[in-house]
Amino acid sequence: MENAILKFEKLLRENVNYFPEISKNVLEEKKTGKWSKKEILGHLVDSAVHNLVRFTEINYAEKPYRHRPYNQIDLVNLNQYQEMDIDELIQLWFVLNNQIVKIMKSVNEEALNYKIVLSDESVIDLRFLMTDYVEHLEHHINQIKS
């Protein structure tokens, strides 16, 4: 878990200052059927919101914890990230993820083993979900940077 946290912190540190340097045109450019880079960042905000809830709720919810999916496309559209001020969007992304880092650092070994039932009834643990969250974040950051 320590490696995932270090990677997470590095991703936040490097990109909170990088994202504001990307031109507005590049951030807002849309291709048919694809999110803009700005909307990808908005998707990362939605992901942070949902995972912040998951990472905290699992500690007091009935076990095994049932993972609730969300409609990613609808949320990006409803939250209107394409029209949002980029500095506010970056700040929102950073603050939410900084809180997730704090939670990840405070999770004990017992909690990392809590079972999570996915919508397809497969079972993972909190350690996998947290590590996968960092991988998901890195994947989308790379899309923004490309």
Give the tens place of pLDDT for each residue, 38-49.
999 999 999 999
> Distance (Å, rounded) from C-alpha 128 to C-alpha 144?
24
Average pLDDT taken over every residue of the chain: 96
* CA-CA-CA-CA torsion sign (69, 70, 72, 74): positive
H-type helices in 58-119, by residue range? Answer: 72-78, 86-106, 109-112
Residues of the chain with pLDDT > 90, as a percent, come to 98
Buried b (16+ CB within 10 A) or exposed e, 26-63: ebeeeeeeebbbbbbbbbbbbbbbbbbebbeebeeeee
Residue type (1 letter), 110: E
Class of domain 2-17+37-145: mainly alpha
Query: What was the pLDDT predicted at 37?
Result: 98
For 33-72, the pLDDT digits (tens) are 899 999 999 999 999 999 999 999 999 999 999 999 999 9
